[in-house]
């Protein structure tokens, strides 16, 4: 990263301003940040904001960013999540410095420091139950009550703490608390818990520990051990900062990190809480963490959202100090912009209607050239077969059209993209009165899609040859939630019953099916689509990443 880019990126938000000032004043010579996920679920787009901020700042200011797993709660954490988080950070386009780090790597040191606090009279073992501790904590307006165990001797505290560590006591029997001030205005300073007893197997430390540190105790000290300069977290930790600073002040830590808070990302029609996302998966509301309707990084990837679109989205929303809700339309805008630039154009018919061109010779097939990207001739062309039997989109035809309907209807002429003008001459129906086939004629003089006599048509439609196209399943996704601000406490009631529509009989051009490409494509007039890993040798499956235009807002408005 050049100095020039560093200046260009500075001034973009208050955190970058602070970072730049700290470099200018030589408070630090190198900026060190970290992204600290708890491995208790998959990453979501809110985490992408934090990732882009932490890794982005390190990149822009020539520092480094650690990936540190905050693995202090072994009952909820799993190796699957540790692996998925690493894959997702890389996919987003970021790389951490060195190996991934773990708060559990510091358990020994954290323990030593806790004994140090006990010796200094700054921590004690409390035998009160969880309920008693909660009841005695006080409220925003009333001070808390001192624990009857608060004045234990150093020797007794050390003995009990060591026996907690040795596994002598059952879960919940005792905790280690900081000895600060039960009357502090900030509740986080009312003797917070540093260690709890938990007989649980840890993915990395196995059965070594029967006590585990709290987030508040582990986090800042891990930052200090790693030499983090700017510990960037979300606003809900603002009230924890005095405690963060208290530990840094009292403990013999090797460096003095500072915590900065920014507003977390909230998105309309979306819930960004790992608790809710876990429930969506466990209760089967979605097919898994990577269900394309999920706001997880894995879900967005499976849906076909390019990482560049996520990075651009995060850049546009910026970093602020006040919480707000971002319109999901902003994310969709960024996805469309990126895909419009990069996606190859292809043709697919989502809901096919058979067309027979009566004046086209039986058995004849010709090749029609189609461009791969209208704005980028270097991406070349491909050939489509045109013959007597074709498919068009079912809703591109109306037997009794209203006035403003310019697509195909009896007697009306339209253009088939890249091919010919056609006119509908008749309709075939089944016993139920449903249209099964259209009879049409084509004008051989309009090859390439223009009439030599200069006559115009008002519609250009996509199409596919019946024999030379391939059957496909296409999955259309809508917002997972039907409400702009779903209720996280009762999210099931706000789920959108129409979030998934499966089209089992779609047709796609051979170039789509054969490509076996993980890159999203534009299906002309329909949107952007990507091949789903559920595809097999016999059956291709596509996910709609996003439609060409924003139809959702209108649809919701109608309800």
Assess whether 554 carries a catalytic annotation.
no
Q: Which of 273, 359, 517, 551 binds ligand ATP (CB under 6 A)?
A: 273
Q: How buried is residue 423: exposed, middle or buried, by Cβ count under 10 Å (0-12/13-18/19+)? A: middle
Member of 67, 272, 300, 508 binding ligand ATP (CB under 6 A): 272
User: Whose Cβ is closer to ligand ATP: residue 260's or residue 523's?
Assistant: 260
Residue 369 annotated as catalytic:
no
Nearer to ligand ATP by C-beta: 36 or 63? 36
In terms of CB distance, is 184 or 235 closer to ligand ATP?
A: 235
List the one residue out of 439, 412, 419 whose CA is nearest residue 427. 439
Instruction: Report, in this order, helix, strand and coil percent for the chain, each rounded to 5.
Output: 35, 25, 40
Minimum distance, C-beta of residue 275 to ligand ATP, in the bound complex (Å): 5
Q: Is 264 a catalytic residue?
A: yes
The tally of CA atoms less than 13 A away on the side-chain side of residue 218 is: 22
Q: What is the DSSP letter of 485?
A: S
Contact assessment for residue 413 and residue 457, using Cβ atoms and an 8 Å cutoff? yes
Nearer to ligand ATP, 273 or 498 (CB): 273
Which residues are within 8 A (CB) of 119 and not within 5 positions of it... i.e. 6 or more apart?
Answer: 154, 158
Q: Please count the other Cβ atoms lying within 10 Å of the Cβ belonging to residue 407.
A: 18
Q: Which residues contact 237 (CB under 8 A, 6 or more apart)?
A: 244, 259, 261
- Supply 112's token pair: 């030593």
180-239 binders of ligand ATP (CB under 6 A):
233-234
Site map (CB under 6 A) of ligand ATP, residues 3-42, x = contact: ---------------------------------xxx----
Which value, in Å, is the radius of gyration of the alpha carbons in the chain? 31
Binding span for ligand ATP by CB under 6 A among 269-277, 294-302, 388-396, 514-522: 269-277
Token pair 């099916």 in the structure block, residue: 513
Per-residue contact track with ligand ATP, 275 to 314, x per CB under 6 A?
x---------------------------------------
Q: Which listed range, 96-104, 266-274, 332-340, 502-510, lies at the site for ligand ATP (CB under 6 A)?
A: 266-274
49, two tokens: 């904001």
Instruction: Name the catalytic one among 241, 274, 388, 507.
Output: 274
Active-site option among 38, 238, 389, 473: 38
Binding ligand ATP by CB under 6 A: which of 49, 202, 388, 407? 49
What is the distance in angstroms between the CA of the first residue and the CA of the last residue of the chain?
A: 50
Give CA–CA dist 203/40, Å, rounded.
12
With CB under 6 A as the contact rule, which of the stretches 87-95, 105-113, 265-273, 452-460 interacts with ligand ATP?
265-273
How many chain residues are in contact with ligand ATP, going by CB under 6 A? 16
Q: What gap in Å lies between CA 127 and CA 501, rounded to an integer? A: 56
Rounded Cα distance, 261 and 363, in Å:
70
Closest CB 81 distance from ligand ATP, rounded Å: 9
Site for ligand ATP (CB under 6 A): which residue of 256, 264, 373, 525? Answer: 264
Provide the minimum distance between the beta carbon of 44 and ligand ATP in the complex, in angstroms, as a whole number: 7
Q: Which position's Cβ is nearest ligand ATP?
A: 46
Residue 391, classed as helix, strand or coil, is strand
> What is the C-alpha separation between 214 and 209, in angstroms, rounded?
14
Is the CB of 50 or the CB of 478 nearer to ligand ATP?
Answer: 50
Residues with a known catalytic role: 38, 264, 274
By the criterion CB under 6 A, which residues form the site for ligand ATP? 36-38, 46-47, 49-50, 70, 233-234, 264-265, 272-275
């Amino acid at each position: 990263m050049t100095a020039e880019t560093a200046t260009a990126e500075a001034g973009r938000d208050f955190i970058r301003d602070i970072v730049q000032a700290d470099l200018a004043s030589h408070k630090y010579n190198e900026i060190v940040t970290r992204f600290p996920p708890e491995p208790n679920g998959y990453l979501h787009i809110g985490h992408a904001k934090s990732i882009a901020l932490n890794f982005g700042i390190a990149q822009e200011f020539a520092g480094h960013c650690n990936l540190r797993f905050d693995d202090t709660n072994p009952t909820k954490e799993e190796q699957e999540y540790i692996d998925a988080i690493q894959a997702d950070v890389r996919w987003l386009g970021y790389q951490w410095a060195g190996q991934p780090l773990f708060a559990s790597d510091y358990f020994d040191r954290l323990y030593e420091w806790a004994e140090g606090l006990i010796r200094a009279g700054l921590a004690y073992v409390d035998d009160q139950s969880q309920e008693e501790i909660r009841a005695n904590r006080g409220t925003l307006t009333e001070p808390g009550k001192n624990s009857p165990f608060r004045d234990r001797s150093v020797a007794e505290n050390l003995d009990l703490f060591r026996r907690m560590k040795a596994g002598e006591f059952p879960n919940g029997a005792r905790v280690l608390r900081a000895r600060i001030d039960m009357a502090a205005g900030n509740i986080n300073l009312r003797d917070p818990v540093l260690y709890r007893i938990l007989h649980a197997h840890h993915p990395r430390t196995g059965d070594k520990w029967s006590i585990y540190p709290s987030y508040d105790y582990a986090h800042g000290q891990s930052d200090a051990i790693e030499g983090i300069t700017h510990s960037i977290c979300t606003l809900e930790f603002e009230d924890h900062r005095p405690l963060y600073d208290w530990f840094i002040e009292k403990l013999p830590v090797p460096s003095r990190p500072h915590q900065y808070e920014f507003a977390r990302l909230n998105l309309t029609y979306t819930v960004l809480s790992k608790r809710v996302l876990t429930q969506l998966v466990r209760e089967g509301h979605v097919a898994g963490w990577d269900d394309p309707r999920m706001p997880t990084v894995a879900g967005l990837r499976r849906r076909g959202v390019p990482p560049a679109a996520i990075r651009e989205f995060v850049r546009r929303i910026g970093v602020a100090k006040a919480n707000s809700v971002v319109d999901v339309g902003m994310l969709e805008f960024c996805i469309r912009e990126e895909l419009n630039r990069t996606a190859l154009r292809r043709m697919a018919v989502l809901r096919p209607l058979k067309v027979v061109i009566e004046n086209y010779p039986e058995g004849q097939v010709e090749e029609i050239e189609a461009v791969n990207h209208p704005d980028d001739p270097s991406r070349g062309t491909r050939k489509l077969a045109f013959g007597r039997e074709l498919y068009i989109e079912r809703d591109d035809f109306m037997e009794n059209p209203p006035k403003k309907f310019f697509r195909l209807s009896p007697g009306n002429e339209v253009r088939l993209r890249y091919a010919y003008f056609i006119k509908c001459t008749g309709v075939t129906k089944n016993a139920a009165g449903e249209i099964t086939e259209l009879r049409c004629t084509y004008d051989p003089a309009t090859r390439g899609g223009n009439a030599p006599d200069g006559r115009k048509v008002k519609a250009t439609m996509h199409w596919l040859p019946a024999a030379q196209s391939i059957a496909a399943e296409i999955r259309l996704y809508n917002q997972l939630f039907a409400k702009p601000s779903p209720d996280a406490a009762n999210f099931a009631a706000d789920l959108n019953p129409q979030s998934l529509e499966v089209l089992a009989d779609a047709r796609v051009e051979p170039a789509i099916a054969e490509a076996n490409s993980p890159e999203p494509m534009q299906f002309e007039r329909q949107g952007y689509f990507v091949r789903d890993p559920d595809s097999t040798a016999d059956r291709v499956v596509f996910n709609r990443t996003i439609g060409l235009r924003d139809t959702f807002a209108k649809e919701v408005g109608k309800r």
